[in-house]
Amino acid sequence: MMRRLLLTCAGLLATSLSAAPKGPPNILFLFSDDLTTQAISAYGDERKLLDTPGMDRLAKEGIRFDRCLVTNSICGPMRAVIQTGKYSHLNGFYNNSNNSFNGEQQTFPKLMQKGGYSTAVIGKWHLGDNPQGFDYWHILPGQGAYYNPPMIDNGKRVTHTGYVTDIITDLGLDWLKNRPKDKPFMLMLQHKAPHREWEPALRHLGHDHDRVYGEPPTLFDTFEGRSKALSDHDMGIERTMTEKDLKLVPPPNLNADQLKYWNDYYEPRNKKYREANLTGKELVKWRYQRYMHDYLGCVKGVDESIARVLAYLDESGLAENTIVICSSDQGFYLGEHGWFDKRWIFEESLRTPFLVRWPGVAKPGTTNDKIVSLLDMAQTFLDIAGQPQPADMQGHSLVPLFKGESPADWRKSLYYHYYEFPVPHRVRPHYGVITDRYKLVHYYTPDVDDWDLLDRQADPLEVKNFYNDPAYADTVKELKTELDRLQVEVKETLPPPRASHGRKPFDNEPPLPAPAKGAGKGKGKGKKKAE
């Protein structure tokens, strides 16, 4: 009896003294759509656009990564990169418009399941096919709706009343409370907000008290000296924003009470706007203010969600053994270069927020400026779970960086390739190499064949092209060599195939070759028809 008591005491002492793991850690991936670092106060944007205490808490209690970069700055494709740990040209999901994800391939949730994790995805999925590799899924169809959204609960259509960010949060908390307790979990809680058309929760409509936001210095960028691809865009506050984007007409899905509340807020302001008859720069400035109000209102909802989830982790005792990662599928333009949206290799949409809290492992209140990527997520999750990392995945586990290590051989550059063109935003396909300081980018279509060199150090706003500057000749040469090396390393295929993945033709692109003469046809007749 005494011996047993002593052993028990010794055991308790050992447990309380050691920081040893309490079994495999849980993973909570708090993901948003089009959330950008400029809108998170922990990232310190000069405009001080919004206070985000929820996300700031993660930065304070964990690590803020300052250069988490995407490999193809657009929604669906980056989600496919996260699932597979592979570039778009290998996972087959290049663009949002006319492409779908092949869920039959190897993905990290399937491997986590095999490794004993309970897996769930709740919220925006945006990969076409039903999720695979998840024990539980409850997702928005396609882009989803902000108000009273229909959803799909493990294959069954359901409707919800309320605001999408709150609903996704409630569903996430319900799942956490009722999950199987005999396994560690990996939950992807994925918001629709703050995606276009930036519709905030009704309670947040007056959140900024009609504040006037500071403008970015490049709001009226003329694109002088850079590729024609830039000036030919269709994603500008001036030329592209619609009445729906600007809340000059109400959004769909509101019920009568909600619509009244919505109109009571927007209508007096819209009336004033109509009476002012703004044109030119004044019109752009007004639109920018309205855009900031709505976009940041959506982010406010996301931040409240994160604060709620963190509070639940505290009260349930889960916080200690749960790694929380907060990120987004890419960054976003908040008026820089006159743009909204993403796609380009420029810093605002290339860089995505990345905050990590791992109690006892990640040092609180630290920052990391190494080049990391959402390409690294799959291997990072598998590494955390103690699972092997498949050799055909193309990223690196971030676990050493979470532990505060600084591996000498960490990547110094990253390969980037964007494809979707010409619709919806006329952003020409481009690929490039990114380093700490430079971006060398090639825009390629039959009508444009331009190289631009950006230097973040000399030109932080990225409004100059140094490609033809003789002082940069050696840099261009070195970066081209690095680009060649990366294209071999990532198994790039150029030009990107068109027929095999449904890419829409570029402007002036010749039609696909006709099938071989006489293929599958009888003599003579088939030939005549082909003409």
**Binding interface with Ca ion (CB under 5 A):** 33-34, 75, 329
Cβ-based nearer residue to Ca ion, 337 or 442: 337
| Chain CA centroid to CA 223, Å | 25
Q: If DSSP states are collapsed to H, E and C, what string results for 151-175?
A: EEECCEEEECCCEHHHHHHHHHHHH
Instruction: Label each residue of 39-86 as H, E or C.
Output: HCHHHCCCCCCCCCHHHHHHHHHCEEECCEECCCCCHHHHHHHHHHCC
Query: Alpha carbon of 375 to those of 66, 82, 225: distances in Å?
Result: 16, 6, 32
Beta carbon of residue 75, minimum distance to Ca ion (angstroms, whole number): 3
Task: For Ca ion, give the closer residue by CB, 342 or 357.
Answer: 342
- Helix, strand, or coil here: 28? strand
Measured from the CB atom, the residue of 56 and 329 that comes closer to Ca ion is 329
- Least Å distance between CB 34 and Ca ion? 4
Q: CB–CB of 217/38 below 8 Å?
A: no
Closer to Ca ion by CB, 34 or 376: give it: 34
DSSP state of 34: S
Could you tell me the smallest distance in angstroms from the CB atom of residue 510 to Ca ion?
A: 32
Least Å from the CB of residue 333 to Ca ion: 12
Minimum Å distance from CB 416 to Ca ion? 16
Tokens matching residue 306: 């994160």
Size of the chain, expressed as the number of residues it contains: 531
Indicate the residue among 124 and 442 with the shorter CB distance to Ca ion: 124
**Of 349 and 445, which CB lies nearer to Ca ion in the complex structure?**
349
Q: How far is the CB of 80 from Ca ion (least distance, A)?
A: 12
User: Nearer to Ca ion by C-beta: 34 or 450?
Assistant: 34
Nearer to Ca ion, 96 or 487 (CB): 96
**CA separation for the pair 342, 332 (Å, rounded):** 5
Smallest distance from Ca ion to CB 72, Å: 11
Which residue lies nearer to Ca ion by CB, 303 or 329? Answer: 329
Please report how close the Cβ of residue 318 comes to Ca ion at its closest, in angstroms.
28
Identity of the residue, 73 or 387, whose beta carbon is nearer to Ca ion in the bound complex: 73
Q: Give the nearer residue to Ca ion in terms of CB position, either 62 or 194.
A: 194
* DSSP type of residue 203: G
Question: Which residue, 75 or 202, is less far from Ca ion as judged by CB?
Answer: 75
Q: How far apart are CA 185 and CA 323, in angstroms?
A: 10
Residue (67 or 126) nearer to Ca ion, CB: 126
Secondary structure of residue 298 in the 3-state scheme: helix
What does the alpha-carbon distance between residue 467 and residue 441 come to, in Å, rounded to a whole number?
Answer: 10
- For residue 324, the cross-strand partners are 28, 357
CA distance 335 to 291: 9
Cα gap 86→90, rounded to integer Å: 6
Nearer to Ca ion, 345 or 361 (CB): 345
128 alpha-carbon distance from chain centroid:
17
Burial of residue 85, with CB atoms counted within 10 A of its CB: 0-12 exposed, 13-18 middle, 19 or more buried? buried
Minimum distance, C-beta of residue 260 to Ca ion, in the bound complex (Å): 31
With CB atoms as reference, the residue minimizing the distance to Ca ion is: 75
Q: Closest approach of Cβ 33 to Ca ion, in Å?
A: 4
Q: Which amino acid belongs to residue 500?
A: S
**Which residues contact residue 147 at a Cβ distance below 8 angstroms, ignoring those fewer than 6 apart?**
162, 163, 164, 199, 251, 252, 253, 254, 258
Q: How far is the CB of 330 from Ca ion (least distance, A)?
A: 5
Q: Measure the CA–CA gap between 7 and 505, rounded to whole angstroms.
A: 73
The verdict on whether omega for the bond into residue 422 sits within 30 degrees of 0, i.e. cis, is yes
Cα(115)–Cα(111) distance, rounded to whole angstroms? 6
Smallest distance, Ca ion to C-beta of residue 490, A? 22
What CA–CA distance (Å, rounded) separates 240 from 291?
A: 13
Q: Count Cβ atoms within 10 A of the Cβ of residue 310 and give its class: 0-12 exposed, 13-18 middle, 19 or more buried.
A: buried
Of the candidates 237, 247, 239, which has an alpha carbon nearest to the alpha carbon of residue 274?
247
Can you tell me the distance from the alpha carbon of 160 to that of 149, in angstroms, rounded to the nearest whole number?
A: 6
DSSP string, 132-152: -S-SEEEEESTT--SBS-EEE
CB of 88 to Ca ion, least distance (A): 14
Do residues 309 and 325 touch, judged by C-beta distance below 8 A? no
Least CB distance from residue 76 to Ca ion, whole Å?
A: 8
